[in-house]
A and B are shown apart, each in its own frame.
Chain A
Amino acid sequence: MDEFYGRTGMVLHIDLTTGTATPEHPDEAVYGRYLGGRGLAGYYLHPFADREYTDPELPLLIFTGPLTGTDSPTSGRGTILSRSPLTGAVCDGSIGGGLPTRLKKAGYDGLVITGRAETPCGIEIDDHDVRVVETSLWGTDSDAVLHGLERQLPEDTSLACIGPAAENGSLLGSVAVDHRHGGVRGGLGLVWAAKNLKYLTVRGSGEVRVHDPAALAEAREAIVRLTMASPVLMGGHGFSHWGTGALFDLINSRRMLPTDNFQKTFFEQGAAVNAAALAELYKPRDHGCLGCHIHCRKIARDGRSLPGFETMAHFTANVGNADPESAMEAADLCGKLGLDPISAASTLACLREITGQDYTDKTLLSTLRAMAEGGDLAKGALNLAQACGRPEAAMTVKGLELPAFDPRGGYGLALAYAVSTRGGCHQHAYPISHEVLRKPVATDRFTFSGKARIIKLAEDTIAACDSMNACRLIFLAAGLEEYAKALTAVTGQDWSVQSLLEVGERTTVNERRMNAGNGFDATDDDLPGRFFTEPGTSGGGVEIPPIDREKFLQARRNYYAVRGLDENGAPTTETLQRLGLDQ
């Protein structure tokens, strides 16, 4: 790591077919253009983006960014990226815990995992000692794997694994990272399973070199000061105190809480399952990723993770369940089975609408178990609804189930869902920030005016954040202005808001061109029909009409124009040339 600041200069290619690990030292220019994390992982995916998930050549990419493992606030983040088995689109997952930090400290900016082991295996990394080992853990649930590995390995080891869902071919298979830091969607767990990869362990004892520690300390101070001034992150009602579940009351009161599979947008029994109710019941303690002072994760006294907002909301309001304990159990079971809880709950909600049958606490869990075992349920809401002849009941975009924010309650959100490269996802533009949380300033949530460019700029900002690898949440308080200073201090290179946004733009357009190559077009940049024809639940002084289809389409055209896409949503030649993506 001697001549590099903020990065190690080494990407490790692990071929599971041969069991070999080969280091690569990417060109300086590649780092300059893609930075790290999601950007750099996208660069490595591009040549193989048309491969099916069963193709051993399709890479599974696990990348850190230049801030990972430094004193920059919330630096413990990384990216898992590949082509989604669920949607066929490019799919990234932001991961935390300790794994990204340890990977970097072990000497790697990222891992490119290809091939297929003959028998189930694990990858064990201990600094420069990299082993592909056979494992007998296949078939065991995530908790058992992680607890078992924890007993064998030194305490400062990080762990990630898949559960039975991915092994059984469920398109909702997720990845558990350091127990509580997965959030990996799009069935990326299945890419692990297709490679016969059950787990990854990482221990790293190196240091990440920082060019100007004093300047980093100054940048850190400014970012921390902004975080402390943020009601959403650090206020008495904020994420630091309550976890992201703090959003529950607000989203419900704004009449945008998906209820009964998005047939309603207000949950009458909200008070029984809000963050305050959970805190009262489970007396949680704080937990966070390495390098973070926010600690948005909460762990119940009995050791279970308290679900974040989206999981809790979907396992309660969206499936018609007002019992917090059964929602806790469902979320915990998803963790064990290695199911993406958002997609799993949304698929349950879709099934409930189709069958008209409510869940009991027993059937809620047994249906989840079935989902992890294969069959139509294991293929997500869209495939299930199509199999039942009711495609309109799937609340998905590009086949990815929508999270717990109703787009009729925020038109920037509606547009962000539609155009996100990974499908039903609000996190690539996080319009909740200004449409609900008033950051950096409030916008009118019931208009498309100005939203096309806002969404484009927010996507670029978040892609830059994912490429530096800071936590997306801190951007509810700080911005690229502050992070450019941190990045400059770490790398010794001159970064500005503008140059970071250019990396973010390149990252997003690179993902768009891969999707376009796989046949995605404007018809995929759309929302389920329900949102254009049915109203939400008005009340409390708020009217929730259906979204005006024409205005939505105009906003999407505007988005295509400002993003430099053609009328089908594919990047134009000129855009590709401008961003150097034409080679």
Chain B
Amino acid sequence: MKALCEKYAAKLAAQGLASGTGPDAPLVGGLDADLTWNREDPRTGELAGLFSRLSINSLVFIRPAEPYRTILDFLAARNPDGIRPEDTETRTFLHDIPVCADFTAEAMAAQLKRRKVIVIPGQGVAACGTVTPEQGFVSVSSLVFSSFVLFFSDYLNRARRVELDDEYADAFSHVVRLLPEPHTDLPGLAAGPFTDEEGVVAAMAEAGRKVVGYGLVDSFFGNISYKLDETVYISQTGSSLDELEGCIDPCPLDGSTTNGLTASSELSAHEDVYRRSNYDCILHGHPKFSVIMSMDCERDDCPNRGHCHIHCTECRTVDGVPIVPGEVGTGPTGLCHTLPPAMAANGAAIVHGHGLFTAGNNDFNAPFARLLEIENRCRDLYFDRLSRYA
């Protein structure tokens, strides 16, 4: 347990979600027969009270790094009854994010007995799990992503509606100053085509690490695939894109096995892209500004408002890259229906509120470059659009 606690504390720091050292470094606790923490800290006394009040086996607590700290404290102050982002990660997995006024075991347990993750303004973020600390890590990472998207989306919307106040403007300019510079260099990934399983798996693992390293996805929720002959190699469901070794499933396109049972939920969409096109690799990340721009729409009077993520019928693009509706998976409103035709025609597509897919040939260099280029373009577009109003 202690090793797992340390692993996820280190990952939180490596992904810039929390400081790696000092009093703000993550606290991760795990309980089997005994309770262990990744490190000593006076707050573990209070946090231990969560283990006695809740049926959990792990807990992640972080004071988020900037700019997320400012964003979360701001959103929590504005929404004391709970934060409700509208991106796909929240809609599907988090639902909403409770705000807890006090850093006491009693107050936190009252909220955590209903939800995976909570915000305690001025203190941090707490998330628990019943299987491993990885659950808390995923929840915290999703919350940070979702609140970032909400903060920027909401700011643009309010600017458009002339509803901004000084406090929001101050917080926003503070956050913007803290944003890291966008990457403009390219990683130089292994050159393809890859002709055997070993080569494919190594190339996928390398590309996955770089997509995470460039901040184009939090380590979860993206996926990646490569078609070799008539087999699609795809990252497994819930795998960390920066730890893909041993987490890639070979799925024959002829349906002769069901090995894809653990494959990414987007396997069907990937397969269909390959069937409709000559591409042989796909990258999917959740770059923040691509997601923010996919949700930005000026048509306030649209009858589909509130259901854009499944019912948008407008032909929307970011500089020609189509934005399509669709939920995770294979349901009637699943992205498996909307994404493949858009990808086959354009080699890239953004799913509303969800993330960006790019395809390529031979190796991941071109899809990676496109992923980065589209994200950087979305970031520029965001500020261009904002400058029209504020």
Contact = CB atoms under 8 A, between A and B. Distances in A.
Interface of A: 222, 224-232, 234-238, 242, 245-250, 253, 271, 274-276, 434, 436-443, 449-454, 457-458, 460-461, 481-482, 484, 496-499, 501-502, 505, 557-558, 561-562
Nearest to B264: A231
A288 B13 CA distance: 46
Contacts of B329: 228-231, 234-235
A246 B237 CA distance: 16
Interface string B29-71: 0111100000000000000000001111100000000000000
Contact of B260 (A237, A271, A557): A237
A450 B265 contact: no
Interface stretch (B143-151, B159-167, B251-259, B355-363): B251-259
A481 B54 CA distance: 13
Nearest to A501: B55
B91 interface: yes
A246 B258 contact: yes
Nearest first, the 9 A-B pairs at minimum CB distance are A228-B331, A498-B113, A237-B260, A229-B328, A558-B33, A229-B329, A228-B329, A501-B55, A237-B258
A230 B31 CA distance: 28
Interface stretch (B126-134, B184-192, B345-353, B378-386): B126-134
Nearest to B136: A441
Contacts of B239: 438, 442
Contacts of B4: 449-450
Nearest to B220: A441
A438 B220 CA distance: 13
B130 A234 contact: no
Nearest to A253: B259
A231 B258 contact: no
A236 B260 contact: yes
Contact of B330 (A224, A236, A443): A236
Contacts of A247: 258, 261
Interface in B1-19: 1, 3-4
A237 B263 contact: yes
Nearest to A442: B238
Contacts of A505: 55
Contacts of A449: 1, 3-4, 32
A558 B34 CA distance: 9
Given A238-B261, A246-B258, A253-B259, A457 B130 contact: yes
A247 B257 CA distance: 10
B263 to A, nearest CB: 6
Given A276-B256, A436-B262, A453-B57, A235 B238 contact: no
Contacts of A271: 256-257
Contact of A231 (B1, B109, B114, B263): B263
Contact of B259 (A249, A441, A458): A249
Contacts, number: 169
Contact of B258 (A250, A457, A484): A250
A247 B331 CA distance: 21
A246 B129 CA distance: 28
A561 B33 contact: yes
Contacts of A249: 257-259, 261
A175 B331 CA distance: 34
B267 interface: yes
B95 interface: yes
Contacts of B263: 231, 235, 237
Contacts of A460: 55
B308 to A, nearest CB: 15
Contacts of A501: 55
B119 interface: no
Contacts of A558: 32-33
Nearest to B114: A496
A235 B265 contact: yes
Nearest to A431: B131
Given A449-B32, A460-B55, A561-B33, A235 B113 contact: no
Nearest to A243: B258
A250 B260 CA distance: 8
Interface residues of B, number: 53
Contacts of A222: 95
Given A236-B271, A449-B3, 17 more contacts: A222-B95, A226-B93, A230-B265, A231-B264, A231-B265, A235-B263, A235-B329, A238-B261, A250-B259, A271-B256, A275-B258, A276-B258, A438-B236, A438-B238, A461-B130, A496-B114, A562-B33
B55 A236 contact: no
B55 A237 contact: no
Interface string B88-107: 00011101000000000000
A236 B268 contact: yes
Interface in B226-282: 236-239, 251, 255-265, 267-268, 271
Most buried by A among B33, B56, B260: B33
B114 A497 contact: yes
Interface string B334-346: 1000000000000
Main secondary structure of the interface of A (DSSP, over half): helix
B150 to A, nearest CB: 19
Given A224-B331, A249-B258, A235 B267 contact: yes
A28 B327 CA distance: 41
Given A249-B259, A442-B238, A454-B130, A237 B265 contact: no
Contacts of A458: 130
B84 interface: no
Given A236-B267, A481-B116, A229 B327 contact: yes
B115 interface: yes
A227 B265 CA distance: 10
30 contacts: A225-B92, A228-B328, A231-B265, A235-B263, A235-B265, A235-B329, A236-B260, A237-B251, A237-B263, A248-B258, A249-B258, A249-B259, A250-B262, A274-B258, A275-B258, A434-B131, A438-B237, A440-B129, A440-B131, A440-B238, A450-B57, A453-B33, A457-B55, A457-B57, A458-B130, A481-B95, A497-B113, A499-B113, A505-B55, A557-B33
B290 interface: no
Contact of B255 (A234, A235, A276): A276
Nearest to B134: A441
Contacts of B75: none
B57 A231 contact: no
Nearest to A251: B261
Contacts of A224: 331
Contact of B114 (A229, A451, A481): A481
A239 to B, nearest CB: 9
B215 to A, nearest CB: 22
B294 interface: no
Contact of A452 (B32, B114, B327, B330): B32
A264 B258 CA distance: 22
A562 B32 contact: yes
B142 interface: no
B115 A454 contact: no
B30 A450 contact: yes
Given A229-B328, A237-B260, A237-B263, A441 B138 contact: yes
Nearest to B332: A228
A458 B131 CA distance: 9
Contacts of A498: 53-55, 109, 113-114
A236 B337 CA distance: 13
Nearest to A226: B92
B115 to A, nearest CB: 7
Contact of B131 (A225, A245, A454, A499): A454
Nearest to A561: B33
B135 interface: yes
Given A237-B261, A496-B114, A450 B132 contact: yes
Contacts of A227: 331
B257 A231 contact: no
Which of A228, A449, A484 lies at the interface centre, i.e. has the most chain B CB atoms within 10 A of its CB? A228
A377 B258 CA distance: 35
A296 to B, nearest CB: 13
Contacts of B262: 231-232, 250, 436-438
